Structure formats: structure tokens, C-alpha cells
Amino acid sequence: MNGSFRIFVFGGSPKSSNCYPALESFATHSLKPNSYLSSFLRPDADTISYHELHNPHSRFLSFATILAAPHASLYNSADAGLPKLLARYRDNIFADDKQDFRVPEVKGLGAAHAKMGFKDGEAGVVVVRPDGYVGCVVKLVEGEGTVNALNEYFSAFVGKQLGGEGVKAQL
């Protein structure tokens, strides 16, 4: 914990047909003007060193990506085929490939996804507050629904309206 909100992107299984399109949508909409991320971008983001691992875009937010895939398949490529936004956090890409006996219904891949409430290949986003508590859990879907939900969550306490005008998220 470094004092910023940590956004855990549970991307589901890369073998799933909707995994990467949903991740692409999430990254694209997160970078739109007035989004939860764009509103807090660092003014020096273009000059940040490759060695800035945890907060290259914003001091307010940090990302970690968890994919339901074998460890070896993710680390054969530097960015696991992720969108540029998430690939920048290459040291925070994790494999959800360990069996957890607290979720016995999951055999093999996806135990962490299941513990967060994402079942059967579902993907989602979990926002962890700087104090370590879970602040928000939303499904990761293609389109702007996920980012709209995050805009609404962050708007509740940052003191300004985020996202498009009159956009209401469906949680």
C-alpha cells in the first residue's frame, strides 16, 4: 500500500472470447477526458521513467491485473497482450492459477476471481482504498459501463463530477 487507490482488474481467462475486448474497453474509456483516471493524471506522465512501477499515470491511482491463466503463459510475453494502460504496470500482472481450498468449487484457474464474486469466467474490477478496505466491486464489461461505475464511485467523494454529463452507472 503506497497511499493510492489500487484498482485490481480481474480480467478473467485470456481464452475467453470477451476477456481482451472488455480489457480494451476498460482501458480506452478510462483514458477519456473527465474519467476517474484522466481527472488525476500526473502532469509529467509523459516523462515518467520506465522504473516507476506503481504510479506512472497518477499518484491517486495504481493498477494491478489478475488473469485466470497459468503463470508461465503470462510471463512468456512482457505485457501478456494487455492494453497499453495496463501493460505499463507490467510488474503488477498476476496469474490466478493457484488452487484455494476456501473455494473448493473452483478447480485449477480462477480461485481469486471466485473469492471476489466473479464466477465462471466473469471479469471485474475491485477498488481497494488506501487504508486497505475494498471500496467498490463492479463487473468488467465491454463498453463504458465499468468506467461509468468507477466514475460514479469516485465522484461520491472527490468533490467533482466525473464522467459524462448525466451518466448513471449500473452496478
| Residue spans per domain, the chain | 5-43+50-158
- The residue type of 167 is V
Q: Output the pLDDT for position 77.
A: 58
Looking at the chain, the whole-number percentage of residues with pLDDT higher than 90 is 43
Looking at the chain, the whole-number percentage of residues with pLDDT higher than 70 is 91
The model's pTM is: 0.87
pLDDT digits (tens, 9 = 90+) for 19-32: 889 999 999 999 99
Q: Output the pLDDT for position 80.
A: 67
Helix axes 145-158, 19-30, angle to 10 degrees: 40
Q: Output the pLDDT for position 171.
A: 32
Is the sign of the CA dihedral 27, 130, 38, 48 positive or negative? negative
Q: Output the pLDDT for position 160.
A: 80
- The residue type of 70 is P
pLDDT digits (tens, 9 = 90+) for 91-140: 888 989 888 888 888 877 888 988 898 887 789 999 999 999 999 999 99
Q: What is the CATH number of domain 5-43+50-158?
A: 3.40.30.20
In this predicted model, which residue has the larger pLDDT, 152 or 43? 152
CB 98 within 8 A of CB 105: no
Q: Which of 5-14, 105-114, 137-146 has the lowest mean pLDDT?
A: 105-114
